[in-house]
Amino acid sequence: MWLIVGLGNPGSKYLLTRHNVGFMAVDFMVKSLGVRNDDARSEHQARTINFKWENETVKLAKPETFMNLSGEAVGAITHFYKIPIEKIIIVHDELDLPFGQIRLKTKVAMEAITA
């Protein structure tokens, strides 16, 4: 199983802000892949939905907490489903980068969540 987490903040105040780019990315994946929103559910302080990709389950998650507490949801999902760090992708904004630029990291900070 893979876990893709989009970070953001709940509520209409943050809906279309750069801070919610993770939520927007998950919503885009759901729409692009034709995944049924009816299959989404709340679990481990997150809204999740599963789909199959090349015979492997992928869980998309949007934590229902504010961004600074999202580690609780990510940690709970990771532990419950025994998802290895190598199969976790976190999508979030990075205010230190110019708009439109991306950065990829591996195993950073996730060790604290799964330890």
Domains of the chain: 2-114 (3.40.50.1470)
Closest CA to 43 of 21, 64, 16, 17: 64
CA distances from 63 to 9, 11, 100, 104 (A): 8, 12, 23, 21
Q: What is the per-residue pLDDT for 114?
A: 46
Q: What is the per-residue pLDDT for 60?
A: 96
pLDDT of the chain, 115 residues: tens digit per residue: 999 999 999 888 888 888 899 999 999 999 998 888 778 899 999 999 999 989 999 999 999 999 889 999 999 999 999 999 889 999 988 878 887 777 777 765 545 444 4
Q: Which of 19, 44, 79, 92 is catalytic?
A: 19
Closest CA to 6 of 19, 34, 42, 96: 19
Q: What is the per-residue pLDDT for 115?
A: 43
Q: What is the per-residue pLDDT for 107?
A: 63
Q: Are 4 and 83 in contact (CB under 8 A)?
A: no
- Specify whether 79 is catalytic: no
Token pair 């729409």 is found at 31
Q: What is the per-residue pLDDT for 108?
A: 54
Question: The whole model's pTM is what?
Answer: 0.85
Q: What is the per-residue pLDDT for 58?
A: 95
